[in-house]
Amino acid sequence: MKTLHMIGSIHDIPLGEGRTYAVDGEMIAVFRLRDGSIRALSAVCPHKGGPLADGQVDLKQVVCPLHLYAWDLATGCSLSGQDAVSVYPVRVDDDQLILEM
């Protein structure tokens, strides 16, 4: 069953960066893109466990900081032939980040 989780304020994430949140025992990387939209994905790189929230992003992809493989922020699909990561619906309500999972 899906539940909604309030995970924090949008202002906790600088524009164009990501931060990691523990939600229900899972680590979720939440990114605030430069066009204002929010994306949430599993925080652990499927390649070798790199911290995806430390990666660089644009409007499409996040690049893992360890070996620079990339994942599509919207679908979680790897852009470089690795396994996919899970993506989660996330939205902002009154500056609060609300994650569905």
Partner 1 sequence: MAGARTVEEILARGGDFDITMFGDEPYGNYNRIMLSNVLAGVEDESGIFLNDLSWYSDNGITLHAGVRIDRIDRKNKVVYAGDGTATPYDKLVIATGSSAFVPPIKGAHVPGRGYHQGVFVFRTLDDTRAMIRYAKEHERAVVIGGGLLGLEAARGLQNHMPHVTLVHAVGHLMERQLNERAGATLKTAVEQKLGIDVIVNGMTTEITGKHAVTGVKLADGRLIECDVVVVAAGIRPNTQVAAESGLAVERGIVVDDQMRARGEEDIYVVGECAQHRGELYGLVAPLWDQARVLADHLTGANRQAAYHGSQIATKLKVAGVDVASMGLLEPQHEDDELIEYAEPRKGVYKSAVIRDGRLVGAILVGDNRKAAFLMKAFDRGLPLPDDRAGLLFDLGGPAAEESVADMPDDEQVCNCNGVSKKAICGVVQDGCATVSGVMDKTRAGKGCGTCKPLVQRIVEWANGGEAAEDPAASYYVPGVPMPKPELMDAIRLYGLKSVSSVFAKLGGEEDAKSKMGLASLLKMMWGAEYVDERDARFINDRVHANIQRDGTFSVVPQMKGGVTTPADLKRIAEVAERHGVPMVKLTGGQRIDLLGIPKEKLPQVWADLDMPSGYAYAKSFRTVKTCVGSDFCRFGVGDSTALGIAIEERYQGIEGPGKMKLAVTGCPRNCAEAYVKDLGVVAIDGGKWEIYVGGAAGAHVRKGDLLATVDSPEEVVKLTGRFLQYYRENGNWLERTYAWVPRVGIEKIRAVVVDDAEGIAAGLDARMDAAVAAYRDPWKERAEPVTPGQFRTSLPLTVLPQVPVRA
Cβ distance 54 to 65 under 8 Å?
yes
54 and 45 Cβ atoms separated by less than 8 Å: no
Question: Between 64 and 99, whose beta carbon lies closer to ligand FES?
Answer: 64
Which of 5, 37, 54, 101: binder of partner 1 (CB under 8 A)? 54
Residue 54 interacting entry, from partner 1, ligand FES, none, C-beta within 5 to 8 Å by type: partner 1
**44 near partner 1, rule: CB under 8 A:** yes
91 binds, among ligand FES, partner 1, none (CB under 5 to 8 A by kind): none
CA of 14: how far to CAs of 79, 82, 98, in Å? 25, 28, 17
